[in-house]
Structure 1
Amino acid sequence: MSDTKTTPQFSPEDLQRINAELSGKSPQDILKWAIDNVQGLYQTTAFGLTGMCALDMISKISLERNEIHLVPLVRLSRKAWGFDIFLDTLYHFKETLQLAETASETYLAELHTYRPPGVQTVEEFEAKYGKELWKTDEDAYDYLVKVEPAQRAYKELGVKAVITGRRRSQGADRQDLPVVEVDSTGLIKINPLIDWSFKDVRDYIDKENVPYNALLDQGYRSVGDWHSTAAPVEGDKSDGNERGNRWQGRNKSECGLHKDYFEMKKAFEEKHKAAEEVAMQKEAPVGV
């Protein structure tokens, strides 16, 4: 992975103009703009409701246009064939993994799955990095299961821009999001459903018969790793903090994907180096 910032496709002045033009536009219009104007475009998704809405919309846009050149995002083959990046943290609910398969089959989406570096299973992860790392070193956990795999995917796939599922109604750091932004690495992030509420998203899912996570029928509103997603409380029907069941009791609202990559990488490597030095000192023969 490169540690240098890539040159973004849009200048700050471009972004200001683009966001003014896209303000108030429908998610479909924002997606059409992205397909037509952004290079190296992929969708990153954990198959939440918003991500599934976007995938369904992309499919319909492809079919409406009857085009086959919307690469790398979509191309027509009976249905839209999307290029989606799925970050398998190894700690997803089984329902999330099942939905990933269902979505890939339903939309003929080519799913690129990335896992933490050097491991394929929970057992391998915990043997290499420690058990319950999300408790002992939350930032290191986020870096290993989300940030590093995402950057690896972007490099290997030539990703220059991603469609995200973030919405302002989700609150916390997301309430002031622009439609289009550029992060610290130069990656363009497009948030097509930015103005939709949870109800808007759920209504679209129901109306268009879009596949969704079975946990939603149990009252979940936001689904992440099983160890950091609290079960719903009976009777809680508010449309307030949709992600309030995530990371309860911790001063946290994001998993790391939308934080500064270079800062997270530097912090992880410094901790890792210090840990290695301590381990070497313990293993060194007496008197050396």
Structure 2
Amino acid sequence: MPSLATPVPQLDGSQLEHINERLARMSPEQVLEWARATFDGLFQETAFGPSGNVISDMLHAQGASVPVIFVDTLHHFDETLDLARRSQDRYGFKLHTFRPDGCATRADFVAKHGDELWARDDVVYDYAVKVEPARRAYEQLQVRALLTGRRRSQKGDRAQLQVVEVESGTGLVKINPLATWSFQQVWTYLRANEVPYNALLDQGYKSVGDYHSTRPVKDGEDERAGRWAGTNKTECGLHKDYFAMRAAFNARTKEREANVAVASPVA
């Protein structure tokens, strides 16, 4: 396999571009081998979508064990939580589950944030259920590099996805071994290798997120058309600019607190 010994975080833009050109010609399995050889502190982050489970299966076939980070938003489908258990049983990885701050159940979340926060303020919701728990995971686990299941064929913000990205401002490395794969390639691999997958896929769901913002995909629609249908949204915030998301969350929180103070003046 080609040698790419220089750690990615030390690369400038032209060097990273060169590595991506080389990695793009490798198979996903070779990219995974490179990632494991290159990084200490390598984790897989997944919500157990089809691509994520393909990566888990490829790693297992290599005899590798990469710890997994699962952000439990407390609003997943039951089928997703069941798949998380089945996947861990199948592949034996160490599973690190992180939930919204101070919340162990959906009832806890409602008590803290009120009903249907996603409909009232999706920025606050995304930060609370995804961004903050993920960043807490990265800090506590000392994550240096992440394997993700994102693909260009998912379109939206992912259409120009590179195999390797270095997050601006944090240096966090995100490695996308299946960046060039189509959904059909993922599905073919799943079936050929008897990889566990979400039962909702058989009901027309190609991309599964929270229960309140996911629907089956219609014939002719893009793979992720069932996510946040009727909006221009294509990402939950997990793969957006972290600092921008945090600033927006803080601004919205201060605004809400100010409104509460005005509505309830101290006697």
TM-score (norm 2): 0.93
Q: 1:167 to 1:124 in 2, by over 3 A?
A: same
Q: Structure 1 residue 110 and structure 2 residue 94: aligned?
A: yes
Partner of 1:90: 74
CA distance in 2, matches of 1:107, 1:148: 27
Displacement, 1:39? 2.9
Q: Structure 1 residue 227 and structure 2 residue 209: aligned?
A: no
Partner of 2:25: 24
Partner of 2:143: 159
Candidates 203, 212, 231, aligned match of 1:250:
231
Q: Deviations over 1:174-194 (max 9, x none)?
A: 111111011232211111011
Q: Which amino acid aligns with 1:147?
A: V
Candidates 189, 211, 222, aligned match of 1:204:
189
Candidates 245, 254, 257, aligned match of 1:276:
257
Q: Which amino acid aligns with 1:261?
A: Y
Q: Secondary structure at the match of 1:85?
A: strand
Q: Which amino acid aligns with 2:30?
A: D
Displacement, 1:120? 1.0
Partner of 2:129: 145
Displacement, 1:32? 0.7
Partner of 1:78: none
Candidates 152, 156, 159, aligned match of 1:175:
159
Q: Secondary structure at the match of 2:9?
A: coil
Give the superposed CA RMSD. Answer: 1.5
Aligned pairs for 1:45-84 within 5 A: 45-62=46-63, 74=64, 81-84=65-68
Identity of aligned residues (%): 51
Candidates 205, 211, 214, aligned match of 2:199:
214
| Contact kept? 2:206, 2:216, Cα under 8 Å | no
| Contact kept? 1:177, 1:194, Cα under 8 Å | yes
Q: Which amino acid aligns with 2:34?
A: W
Q: Secondary structure at the match of 2:70?
A: strand
Q: Which amino acid aligns with 1:48?
A: G
CA distance in 2, matches of 1:250, 1:183: 26
Q: Which amino acid aligns with 1:218?
A: Q
Displacement, 1:232? 4.0
Q: Deviations over 1:128-151 (max 9, x none)?
A: 112111111011111011100000
| Contact kept? 1:99, 1:212, Cα under 8 Å | yes
CA distance in 2, matches of 1:46, 1:11: 31
Q: Secondary structure at the match of 2:62?
A: helix
Q: Secondary structure at the match of 1:34?
A: helix
Q: Secondary structure at the match of 1:82?
A: coil
| Contact kept? 2:24, 2:180, Cα under 8 Å | no
TM-score (norm 1): 0.86
Displacement, 1:276? 2.1
Q: Deviations over 1:238-273 (max 9, x none)?
A: 4x5100111001110011011110011011112212
Unaligned regions of 5+ residues in structure 2, if any? Answer: 1-7
Unaligned regions of 5+ residues in structure 1, if any? Answer: 1-6, 63-73, 75-80
CA distance in 2, matches of 1:281, 1:172: 40
Q: Deviations over 1:76-121 (max 9, x none)?
A: xxxxx33000000011010000000000111111110000111111
